[in-house]
Amino acid sequence: MANYSQVMLMFGFAVVAMAPALIISRMISPRKRSNPVKFLPMECGQVPSGAGRTHFMMQYYAFILMFVVFDVMAIFLYAWGATLLELEKSTILPIIAFLGIMFGAMAYALNQSKRRDIW
Amino acid sequence: MSVIAPKFKLSYFIKSLTDNIFWIIVLLTLIGIPIIMIVLIFVDLPVHDGELVNPFLAFTMIFHPELAVPFLKSIIYSDFFKIAAFPGFGFAALLAAATIFAERKLLAKMQLRVGPFYCGKFEGILQLMGDGLKLISKEIIIPAKADKPLFWAAPVLFVATAAAFVALIPVAPGWVVADLDLGLIAVFAVIGFFPIITVISSWSANSKYPFIGGIRALHQMVSFEIPLILSLLGVTILTGTLSLSEIVHAQENYWLIVFLPIGAIVFFISMLAELERIPFDLPEAESEIVAGWLTEFSGMMYGLVQLGSYIKLYAFAGLFVVLFLGGWQGPMVVPPFPEEIITEGIQAGPITVQIAGLPIVSQEMLNGTLWFTLKTVAVIFFILIPRGVFPRIRIDMLLSIGWNKLIALAFVNMFIAVGLIYAGILGPGGIW
Amino acid sequence: MSDTDSRKQEETETKLVVEKQDDLPKFEKEQSNKITEKFGSKTEIAFVKPDRVRVNVKKEDILEVASFIRDELHYDHAESVTGIDFPTDKEIEVVYHLGSYTDPKLGRQVLSLATRAPREDVPNPGNDSTRLPSLRDIFYSVEFHERECFEMLGVFFEGHPDNRRLLLPEDWADLPPLRKDFKIKGR
Amino acid sequence: MTAKLPPGLQLEKEDDKIMTLNVGPQHPGSGHMRLIIKVDGDFIVSCDPDPGYVHRGEEKMAEYRNYITNIPHLERPVIHDSCNILYPYVLGVEELLGLEVPERAKYIRVIAAELNRIVYTLYWLGIYGIFLGHSTMFMWPMGDRELAIDLLEKLTGARVTHSYFVPGGIRNDAPANFEDVCIRQVNYLEKRLRTYGDIFYDNPILIARTENTGILTREDAIRLGTTGTVLRASGVDFDIRTKEPYDVYDELDVHTNVLKNGDSYDRSKTPWLDMLESCNIIRQALEKMPKSGSVRVKLKPNPKGGDDEVYKRVESGRGSLGTYIVSRSKPEPYRLKMSVGSFRNLICLPYLLKGEKLGNMPAVYWSLNYWPVEADR
């Protein structure tokens, strides 16, 4: 288990190593609070109107829903794939059936995702 | 009297010099030495000759060559060195910096211009340092309505996640920060953090363009993660393991790209998309949404995100090498360490020193690192080239490529792998 | 420009009407004849030059004449819409330069259709009597040109769906800048 | 014009699903103008162009200066195409003053105008490349532009703002070795231009991105009064150089490039074909040009036009460029109106962008061959 903690250590090391860059930058860079317009969000030179984050529906939201299903499926396939050498050859059949079901579902979802008006 | 310093006087100059030297000495004594002490006390100190190396012993060792070598060795083989320097952060950051420079020069050559030229005597080699200095001395402007803690954290988290990714890449036999049994799964887990960070930063900026860019990044990474994961299924099937080091060991005779070219192509394309490089740089498409999710970043925050993305690039290139190009495997080109240095010692003037414990690192490690670096550089080169050749693609094209074509190809790849196993070409009875 | 000067010019301009029939280019003459046949005294052919014909109409008749030009003479788009300020006449002239893409015979031709709107000394763009009917329904391409004319000279085009400022800033509060009484500083 | 919105897009109802984006004036993909774009997710539901950020009142300024001093400032709207934007003005003044231009001057004018068209179009092409994310296509035209700029510098003495055309001819004669240098540079330039086809116009991603986006049908192109490359990409064979030849274009063999689809790809390809055609025209003109002779007729100081008006038009890099001069027996024009191609093409932008994806915005917008400074004048 020590190995997994090393990933976290690496993560922590990067945080500790990079935070000084921001702190030094904050220390040596000029800080002029002269103009409130300076701190407005980017709106191409105009005064911003409306909220920055709104209810914003990309028309491709269906793909994200598919991801939720297929990511799990992919990891499940890894459990099978890593032990393939030890398994009987006939175990491919249920996997193919499983993939068939998933492909059917995926084809339907892809077909539906072309309809922009479902969202 | 020059124009630059009209009030220049030699005596003042000498005074300022002596002042500076004085303060440097004072600060070093008051701050530097305590820091060294603290480091020596808290860092895991090696046991040498049955005796724990205490700070005072360590100090003596540093200046004693016969003792210094084992001490150095113990440092190099410590976890901290692995994390901070060699297979970890330092190595990755060095390669990332080299990549930035190489990219600029390479693109310049493709586009019939010279690229960075003036900073540094040779071909603008110090340009990167200049850029870094510029970025660090620029003001960091944070939009007034932003969620400040999240906004500050996002660039640091980005670099840190990229570093965590680097931790999983084996560079040479035994030289990996975290040698996991489920290394491949861990890679997917770490990759999964990038969209989250992107969305966090774009959400916290509270501005329209970063928001759209973040949503685009989410779509892009999400739709390319499935092909990315599935394209590596073939590797797992053929090698029967999820550990990256063992995958490399399995490629002793044949590189996996020989058997799984389709998987390699799918992985390469997904990699480009995950890295947000042209032609998949939709989240930063500057002509559509200013700079995408990077719009509100300024100064060093932007610099950190750039550093993080190039570290990520190195990590992905390294992953490609590990999975498909045989990792550190390659003919032995590093000459063996000369035995007579250990047996007879080094003749340095009147003194002959016999140093126990040399060589510090093994021949395999040097050779492996050399081959790994060469292959990684080659892959990075191929990642850089599309930027000069392709325009950016559109998000619906991207999604349809990801979901329709690449996933299908990934499954083709998987069945090729299964077929190779079941036909007996590879696997227990085959040529493996 | 002094008053007497410009008045004299106005007189000469109205007298430009065709006198030497023989020298005139044939094709252009046919075109202008078609207009005069149809509308008679409502229109006035200001000049007929090679490839260029100019027709002056009253602002009440311009829609009718423009539809005739589009449907019968096959001019299909407007090249430009120009407003010209004549302070001495207390009028603003608007000239539509019409051209044709569809009729290959008309490739060289540009027909100018001119009309005049009353001008007020103290303009209040959009609310005063400086009004003309919009030709947008007849020649779609005049949409932006008329918007420009509106902001630059204060000619309000009735029936134009989108009478907003185009080039000038939203907070422009001075005279319409292309009127003659708007002076450039220092000149 | 019925730009059909995809089903499910909300146009009428302004709820919080619609986000208003100000694209410009400080936006890498807008130029000096603003597009007020309303997006519903990834789709643009409406677009309202708002030019005028670089309005300089050229037309007003022209009323205060005489016919000669108007020349330098009238070319400012498009300094990359400064010969062409002066061309109709110079032609108009010549007609007003009744000047006869020497033959050699006419040819040199044509050469300068065509070179300038190349200079402008290469600039445009570079921007189109970078708008689509193709950075090589940004750098190559910018570098190759120098060839044509060097030629113009040799001819006119200035690199960008030439002020070369004057009523009655051109300002100065071409230098002695101009023809040799010109033909060599133009041949090389044409070779370079053909390589753009390989890297840009045959690029599969570019084709996939720009084909069938922002389609302007032939009828709409005519009805909206578009001009130049936009018009020709929609299948209308209209080029003023052949329809109403000015100077010596009637003695040259000018081929009009007409493409029929009217999508962004065709609109982006037409200027490139025009550049190749320009190389052709320059070579013809160099061949037919009188080798010596005067290039300019003497003008009286402070010339006055009569009580007259002229409307002259030429084909510039962005389409028909008309200048309408009303003269009232004064040394200054009474009214000068420039009807520029960019301004005329701008009108199709709201129609082309409606219902398009946001990613297509730069591809469609810049394919209109639009130059914000020229549209504002």
At residue D6, does pLDDT exceed 50?
Answer: no
pLDDT number for residue D9: 45
User: Hey, what are B219's tokens?
Assistant: 């779509």
In chain A, positions 50-89, which contact chain B (CB-CB < 8 Å)? 50-53, 56, 58, 60, 63-64, 66-67, 70-71, 74-75, 77-78, 81-86, 89
At residue B21, does pLDDT exceed 90?
Answer: yes
In chain C, the residue whose alpha carbon lies closest to the alpha carbon of D65 is C187
Q: Give the three-state DSSP class for B424.
A: coil
Give the model confidence (pLDDT) of D300-341 as tens digits: 788 887 788 888 888 888 888 888 888 888 888 888 888 888
Chain B residues whose beta carbon lies within 8 Å of the beta carbon of residue A74: 226, 229-230, 233
At residue B29, does pLDDT exceed 60?
Answer: yes
A41 touches B at CB < 8 Å: yes
**Mean pLDDT highest for which of B202-216, B304-318, D162-176, D234-248?**
B304-318
DSSP state, C129? S
Give the model confidence (pLDDT) of A39-72 as tens digits: 877 777 777 776 667 766 677 777 777 787 788 8
pLDDT number for residue C1: 41
% of residues, chain C, pLDDT over 70: 87
pLDDT number for residue C185: 75
Nearest by CB to residue D140, choosing from B111, B278, B393, is: B111
In chain B, the residue whose alpha carbon lies closest to the alpha carbon of A70 is B226
DSSP state, D47? E
In chain D, positions 127-186, which contact chain C (CB-CB < 8 Å)? none
How many Cβ contacts (< 8 angstroms) between chains A and B? 207
pLDDT, greater one: B370 or B55:
B370
- The DSSP code sequence of D204-259 is HHHHHHHTTSS---HHHHHHTT--THHHHHTT----HHHHS--TTGGGS-PPP---
Residues in chain C: 187
Mean pLDDT of chain D: 84
Residue listed under structure tokens 């005279």: C175
Task: State how far residue D135 is from chain C, nearest Cα, in angstroms.
Answer: 32
- CA B102/CA B125 separation, integer angstroms: 10
Reported confidence tier of residue B61, pLDDT bands at 50, 70, 90: low
Amino acid letter for position B34: P
Reported confidence tier of residue B26, pLDDT bands at 50, 70, 90: very high
Give the model confidence (pLDDT) of D325-336 as tens digits: 888 888 888 888
Q: Is B215 exposed, middle or buried (0-12, 13-18, 19+ CB in 10 A)?
A: buried
C92: nearest Cα among C183, C161, C176: C176
Q: Average of pLDDT values for D63-83?
A: 85
Chain D residues whose beta carbon lies within 8 Å of the beta carbon of residue C5: 328-329
- CA B249/CA B255 separation, integer angstroms: 10
Q: Are strands D18-23 and D34-40 parallel, antiparallel or unpaired?
A: antiparallel
pLDDT number for residue C3: 46
- CA B234/CA B420 separation, integer angstroms: 10
Element of type H or E holding C31: helix C26-39
- CA C6/CA A72 separation, integer angstroms: 85
**Mean pLDDT highest for which of A101-115, C155-169, C172-186, D150-164?**
D150-164
User: Hey, what are D79's tokens?
Assistant: 């300094």
Residue listed under structure tokens 């005074």: B15
Longest Cα–Cα distance in chain A = 74
Query: How many CB atoms within 10 Å of residue B54?
Result: 11
Q: Average of pLDDT values for C55-63?
A: 83
In chain D, the residue whose alpha carbon lies closest to the alpha carbon of A48 is D22
Most A CBs within 10 A among D40, D48, D54, hence the mutation to make, goes to: D40
Chain A residues whose beta carbon lies within 8 Å of the beta carbon of residue B185: 75, 78
pLDDT number for residue B85: 80
% of residues, chain A, pLDDT over 70: 87
- CA D273/CA D201 separation, integer angstroms: 11
Question: What residues are paired with D335 via a beta bridge?
Answer: D326
pLDDT number for residue D230: 87
- CA D368/CA D353 separation, integer angstroms: 11
At residue C2, does pLDDT exceed 50?
Answer: no
CB B324 within 8 A of CB B256: yes
Structural domain count of chain A: 1
**Cβ–Cβ gap D359/B395 under 8 Å:** yes
Task: State how far residue A112 is from chain B, nearest Cα, in angstroms.
Answer: 13
Domain covering D58-351+358-376, topology: Cytochrome-c3 Hydrogenase; chain B (1.10.645)
pLDDT number for residue C118: 84
Q: What is the CATH number of the domain that holds A59?
A: 1.20.58.1610
**Cβ–Cβ gap B279/D29 under 8 Å:** no
Nearest by CB to residue B160, choosing from A14, A63, A81, is: A14
Domains of chain C: residue spans and CATH: 24-158 (3.30.460.80)
Nearest by CB to residue C77, choosing from D222, D311, D329, is: D222
pLDDT number for residue B43: 65
pLDDT number for residue B18: 92
Whether C contacts A, i.e. 3 or more CB pairs less than 8 A apart, is: no
Q: Average of pLDDT values for B126-132?
A: 85
User: Hey, what are B244's tokens?
Assistant: 């990256």
* Half-sphere exposure in the Cβ direction for B400 (13 Å, CA): 8
pLDDT number for residue D338: 87
**Chain D positions with Cβ closer than 8 Å to A:** 6-9, 16-17, 19-20, 22-27, 30, 34, 40-43
Nearest by CB to residue D26, choosing from A45, A115, A118, is: A45
Q: Give the three-state DSSP class for C181.
A: coil
Asked which of A114-118, C63-67, D119-123 is least confident by mean pLDDT, the reply is A114-118
Q: Average of pLDDT values for C161-168?
A: 80
Nearest by CB to residue A45, choosing from D6, D25, D41, is: D25
At residue B283, does pLDDT exceed 50?
Answer: yes
pLDDT number for residue B22: 93
Amino acid letter for position B331: P
Q: Average of pLDDT values for D266-273?
A: 89
Amino acid letter for position B228: L
**Chain C positions with Cβ closer than 8 Å to D:** 1, 5-6, 9, 12-13, 51-52, 54, 76-80, 82, 84-85, 95, 97, 101-102, 107-108, 110, 112, 139-145, 148, 165-169, 177-178, 182, 184, 187
Radius of gyration of chain B (CA): 26
Chain A residues whose beta carbon lies within 8 Å of the beta carbon of residue D42: 58-60
CA distances to B323, D61, D280 from A86, in Å: 22, 87, 72
**Cβ–Cβ gap D34/A59 under 8 Å:** no
* Half-sphere exposure in the Cβ direction for D314 (13 Å, CA): 24
pLDDT, greater one: C133 or B67:
C133
CB C129 within 8 A of CB C155: no
